[in-house]
Amino acid sequence: MKFVDVEQARTLPGLRLVLTTGVPGPWGEAAKGILRVKRLPYVAVRQEGGGENAALAAWTNQTSAPVAVWNDEPPRSTSLGILFLAERLAPTPPLIPDDPEDRARMFGFCHEIIGEQGLGWSRRLMMLHPILAAAGDAAPAGVRRLAVKYGYGADAAEAAPRRVVAILRMLAAQLERQRLAGRRFLVGTHLTALDVYWATFAAMLDPLPAEQCPMPAGLRMLYAATGSVRDALDPALLAHRDSVYREYLELPVDCTDDG
Ligand SMILES: N[C@@H](CCC(=O)N[C@@H](CS)C(=O)NCC(=O)O)C(=O)O
């Protein structure tokens, strides 16, 4: 896909979405998915994963991706901030349930997938762990930056698989409850942001095949879950991921930087 630099993006009106280039980062892919479902066009802006991203810091006061910026409004650098902005710019189709109980349930599950100490957060600690345990301070600067930013510690990393397993079991049970009620989505009766988050974060457990989601071979290996986490990955959750991608998201996933 086409990207512009932060410096150029700052001069443009409309919707700009900052994304890590070259890797299907689940937070970024989820933001892309939400904008796609809502048919909101945007200009993609480069972020370097693990990089210094000084221009991004000057613009948005932080260095992670994704960030959505609408005209002169304050940048939205949290996933839920991006979701609420998208919901406001394109209320249809809604990705947040109208029913308050469904909504509370949806945001609870969302946090378990995208939030601090959630599924993505914990998988990231698991990926950083072998590199940092082996290399420590000699690990590449990008890896050390991510470690500081995202709460890496050996204890947290060692506790992470148990958290991931528990979250996966909870999601599988929720999907099964919905199936028994004759519903195909994770909450309520239509697609919500939760289905999009699940579909995109499943990349960190069982990446889509290379023809549907090209990515560096080393990252694919790191993303693919093994052991207890792999065992906790219910095939019904993966089938749900596949159907969300097939019907609502872009395939093949495109995150390569075509300039
Ligand atoms: N702030 C986001 C989370 C964003 C996030 O964790 N981004 C990571 C994805 S791995 C990132 O940009 N990492 C690359 C970097 O920090 O350079 C949220 O609230 O959901």
Q: pLDDT tens-digit profile of 122-155?
A: 999 999 999 999 998 999 999 999 999 999 999 9
Q: Which atom of ligand 1 sits closest to the CA of residue 20?
A: 12
pLDDT band of residue 85 (cuts 50, 70, 90) is: very high
pLDDT tens-place string over residues 19-67: 999 999 999 999 999 999 999 999 999 999 999 999 999 999 999 999 9
pLDDT tens-place string over residues 86-132: 999 999 999 999 999 999 999 999 999 999 999 999 999 999 999 99
Q: Does residue 49 line the site of ligand 1, with CB under 6 A?
A: yes
**Separation of 67 CA from ligand 1 center, angstroms?**
9
CA atoms within 13 A on the CB side of 104: 2
pTM (2 d.p.): 0.96
Closest CA to 165 of 218, 129, 126, 194: 126
Taken as a whole, the chain contains a residue count of 259
Q: What is the residue-averaged pLDDT of the chain? A: 97
pLDDT value at residue 135: 92
Residues with Cβ within 8 Å of 162's Cβ and at least 6 positions away in sequence, in order, are none
Q: Does residue 77 line the site of ligand 1, with CB under 6 A?
A: yes
**Pocket-testing residue among 6, 27, 77, 78, ligand 1, by greatest number of atoms within 8 A of Cβ:** 27
CATH 3.40.1000, applies to 100-248: no
Distance of CA 39 to the CA centre of its chain: 19
| Alpha carbons 216 and 71: distance in angstroms, whole number | 34
Q: Does residue 62 line the site of ligand 1, with CB under 6 A?
A: no
CB 215 within 8 A of CB 24: yes
pLDDT value at residue 19: 98
Burial-class residue 217 by CB neighbours within 10 Å (0-12, 13-18, 19+): exposed
**Separation of 183 CA from ligand 1 center, angstroms?**
32
Q: Does residue 149 line the site of ligand 1, with CB under 6 A?
A: yes
State the residue for tokens 């207890």. 228
pLDDT value at residue 161: 98
**Separation of 172 CA from ligand 1 center, angstroms?**
25
3-class DSSP string for the chain: CCCECHHHHCCCCCEEEEEECCCCCHHHHHHHHHHHHCCCCCEEEEECCCCCCHHHHHHHCCCCCCEEEECCCCCECCHHHHHHHHHHHCCCCCCCCCCHHHHHHHHHHHHHHHCCCCHHHHHHHHHHHHHHHHHHHHCCHHHHHHHHHCCCCHHHHHHHHHHHHHHHHHHHHHHHHHHHCCCCCCCCCCCCHHHHHHHHHHHHCCCCCCCCCCCCHHHHHHHCCCHHHHHCCCHHHHHHHHHHHHHHCCCCCCCCCCC
pLDDT value at residue 239: 98
Domain at 6-89, CATH homologous superfamily = Glutaredoxin (3.40.30.10)
Domain ranges of the chain: 6-89, 100-248
pLDDT value at residue 259: 82
CB 29 within 8 A of CB 1: no
